Amino acid sequence: MAPFVLPALLRRSRAARACAPDRLDFHLRKRLVAADGPVTLDVALSLSRGESLALLGPSGTGKTSLLRLLAGLLPADDGHVAAFGRLWLDCAAGIDLPARRRRAGLVFQDYALFPNMSVRGNVRFALPRGVPSSRADQLLELVGLAGLADRAPGRLSGGQQQRLALARALAAEPELLLLDEPLSALDGALRRELQEALAALRARQRTTLILVTHDPAEALRLADRAVLLEAGAVVADGSPAALFGADAADAPLLLAGRVLVCETAADGSPRYRIESQGRQCLARVAPGTVLAPGDGVLLSAGDWRATPLAARRP
């Protein structure tokens, strides 16, 4: 029996050594079905406690699936998750903690609120044992819902439900906060206010944050680091300022896209048809730049100019 037991024990010991108390280390692989065909998500990253990471990239590249894998809501084909001194997942050793045993707070686009509880009840339900119930009211104040505490979630607008989902996730005091475009339904002023509140909370509690966003300005405000995914793989990894070529929170909107075809404009200059976020547009490029169908680009929405991804990698 020893020859069969020993390899598993060795694999488990290697994974256990990766469980540093102040780090999140993971390597996850998952075969996904996307609109354009199968995609193999294969991502290995390491974050320090308190670090904030923005995930960017076109739709269908695996951003939301990566969050669900980390949370334990989607089974991995292979890989491991070592989170702050504990093994959440080690496929080789047969370890797979359920979502309820992973200290991860979740805010996804589908909210998943409890319809039979009030707004306050949704937040109180998530409080750890021993935390006073007044903490729920503090969080509702933070997200601007204090005046709606007794209302049913079904009577809230989409933006209000999104804020409630954020408050409930924060109530659980997670070690890892996973956000899938949590502020996308909010207006500009409230969005900026909640961004600042999230940044302050993360600094105070040393909560590690992984944020899916399509907004470069949001990545610059909330993230220490940005990762760009293309077809399930990391194609750029660095600071948001390095990735976007900007160091201010009012950076121009940049979208990841892919070249479909080169066309000729009325003046004879080339224009490239770019697919981004399920939509198409015609974009210019800098003089001397030549793109081919299938090339990945960053598209500046300010002047609709496409820049090859390789030129923007840190």
pLDDT computed for residue 307 by the predictor? 66
Q: What is the pLDDT of residues 22-49, one digit of tens each?
A: 999 999 999 998 777 788 999 999 999 9
Output the pTM of the full model: 0.71
* Token digits of residue 64: 């939301």
Using pLDDT thresholds of 50, 70 and 90, give the confidence band for residue 304.
Answer: low
pLDDT for 248 equals 47
Distance of CA 192 to the CA centre of its chain: 18
Model pLDDT for residues 105-164, shown as the tens digit of each residue:
888 766 678 999 999 999 999 998 899 999 999 999 988 899 999 999 999 987 788 889
**How high is the pLDDT of residue 5?**
44
Are β-strands 279-283 and 296-300 bridged in parallel, bridged antiparallel, or unpaired?
Answer: unpaired
Per-residue pLDDT at 190? 72
61-120 tens-digit pLDDT: 899 999 999 999 999 999 999 999 999 999 999 999 999 899 998 887 666 789 999 999
Give the pLDDT band of residue 279 (cuts 50, 70, 90).
Answer: low
> What are the structural domains, with CATH classification, of the chain?
24-79+96-244 (3.40.50.300), 254-312 (2.40.50.140)
| Residue 238: strand, helix, or coil | strand
Residue 196 has pLDDT above 70, yes or no: yes
Element (H, E) at 170: helix 158-171
Q: What long-range pairs does 41-46 form, CB within 8 A, spacing at least 24?
A: 41/65, 41/66, 41/69, 41/232, 42/232, 42/233, 43/229, 43/232, 43/233, 43/234, 45/227, 45/234, 45/237
Q: Which tokens go with 32?
A: 């996904």
Q: Name the residue with higher pLDDT: 284 or 67.
A: 67
